[in-house]
A = this chain, B = another copy of it.
Amino acid sequence: MGPGPSDVNPRILGALARPTIGHLDPSFIQLMDEIKVLLQYVFQTKNELTLPISAPGSAGMEACFVNLIEPGDTVIVCQNGVFGGRMKENVTRCGANAVMVQDDWGKAVDTEKVAAAIKANPEAKVLAFVHAETSTGVQSDAATLCKLASDNNMLSIVDTVTGLAGIEVAVDAWGADAVYSGTQKCLSCVPGLSPVTFSERAIDVIKNRKTAVQSWFLDLNLVMAYWGGGAKRAYHHTAPVNSLYALHESLCIVKEEGLQASWARHRRNHLALRAGLETMGLSLVVNEADRLPQLNLVSIPHGIDEAAVRGQLLNDFDLEIGAGLGELAGKVWRIGLMGYGSNPTNVRLCLSALENALIKQGLAIAGGNAIAAANAIYAASE
């Protein structure tokens, strides 16, 4: 129940362990085609260039930046947590210029500030932002931000590593140009792959670059020839065959449940956890409107040794919750309710384990019964 990797469904672990076949085997190519269609479903897009990068989310991020950006370009980067900072690193390593729009950690991206930054930097080519900030548990208004980009003839790069399948991701409706995610969050698959999708507008930019993409491994001009090559695929790199079995299975599970049902489940379990935490006297960090249901940031009560609490949860309950990152280190816990791990059993386990740990730390837990409060949410939603 940390910020990911999340608990992996045993069905997915079973798929992962299937015998490895060749990455150019006709059966494997059929599986790749199915993965593409299933990813189009979860991203809600018709984008042809929709595929999993054969490496973790940070490589998916890098794939978006190195393919769309050339030296000398200007990119407006919104930062309201760790991952906006990583975007900036990517921009400067492309030899491009990053114009930063800063918001407090724990707040959503301020669309007014972004509009002003676009006005002040008419040469900017790309707007990059994080839809679902894993370091702060905040969601930003992707629809408005993507529209700001396209209204100003800019491309948009969207990080939804923690968003996909947990909250609405609507690539085509947003008009987003390059979107990346991870497999180890609300897809509940193993870590190590990064689903990405690119609009036609983005593909045009990639195909008409003046300079070569600085990464051979992530050059989508080459990757396209493998993933998009139909029966006659060009060898690029050896695909991570077993991880792709697992991704296929995880996407089938999302399809079986239905995207909307998956979002609703994530929200329901979040509300139950919240009710329990508040009954204990704990409070969530993020404004209600901006909260990610799949990643709950809890303020650490005064005087509590936060690492000791996490240690006790891990050692006594075999339960992992996340520490704060960056500016929020030592100030918050991050409790994930992602994918397969977003279920009532986990909510109840976490509430009772946390109560136990806080009492051991000498905290006088404010009255009420956390489990009963959570159960009331479930009863009301039946």
A4 within 8 A of B: yes
Q: Residues of B contacting A4 with CB < 8 Å?
A: 238
- Judge whether B243 and A240 touch: CB under 8 Å: yes
Answer whether A22 and B5 are a contact pair too, CB < 8 Å, given A237-B57, A243-B192, A243-B240: yes
A377 within 8 A of B: no
Given A57-B237, A212-B92, A217-B55, the answer on whether A20 and B8 have CB atoms closer than 8 Å is yes
What is the total number of residues of chain A having a CB less than 8 Å from a CB of chain B? 55
Chain B residue numbers with a CB within 8 Å of A246 are 242
* A320-B216 contact given A54-B56, A184-B238, A241-B191, CB 8 Å threshold: no
A241 to B191, CA, bound (A): 6
Q: Judge if A17 is at the interface, Cβ distance under 8 Å.
A: yes
Would you give the 0/1 interface string for A196-238, flagging 1 where the beta carbon is closer than 8 Å to chain B? 0000000000000000111111000000000000000001111
Set of chain B residues within 8 Å of A184, measured between Cβ atoms: 20, 238
The reply on A175 being an interface residue by CB < 8 A is no
Interchain nearest-CB distance for A297 vs B (Å): 16
Q: Report whether B62 and A240 are in contact in the complex, using a CB–CB cutoff of 8 Å.
A: no
Question: Are A93 and B216 closer than 8 Å at their CB atoms?
Answer: yes
Tell which of A212, A237, A238 has the most Cβ of chain B within 10 Å.
A238
Q: Is the CB of B13 within 8 A of A19?
A: yes
Cα-based distance from A191 to B22 in the complex (angstroms): 10
A19 with B8: CB separation less than 8 A: yes
Q: Tell whether, in the assembled complex, residue A240 and residue B17 are in contact, meaning their CB atoms are under 8 Å apart.
A: no
Contact of B57 with A54 in the complex, beta carbons under 8 Å: no
A239 CB-CB contact with B under 8 Å:
yes
**Across the interface, which residues of B come within 8 angstroms of A14, CB to CB?**
17
The reply on A89 being an interface residue by CB < 8 A is yes
Q: Does A23 contact B (CB under 8 A)?
A: yes
A129–B49 alpha-carbon span in the complex (Å): 34
A113 contacts B by Cβ under 8 Å: no
What is the CA–CA distance of A62 and B243 in the complex, to the nearest angstrom? 21
How distant is the Cα of A7 from the Cα of B20 in the complex, in angstroms? 7
Q: Which residues of the partner chain B approach A235 to less than 8 Å between Cβ atoms? A: 325
Q: List 29 A-B contacts (CB under 8 A).
A: A8-B19, A8-B20, A13-B242, A16-B242, A20-B184, A20-B190, A21-B320, A25-B314, A54-B55, A54-B192, A55-B59, A56-B237, A57-B238, A58-B237, A59-B217, A62-B217, A86-B216, A92-B212, A93-B212, A93-B214, A93-B216, A182-B238, A191-B238, A191-B242, A192-B240, A192-B242, A215-B215, A242-B246, A243-B243
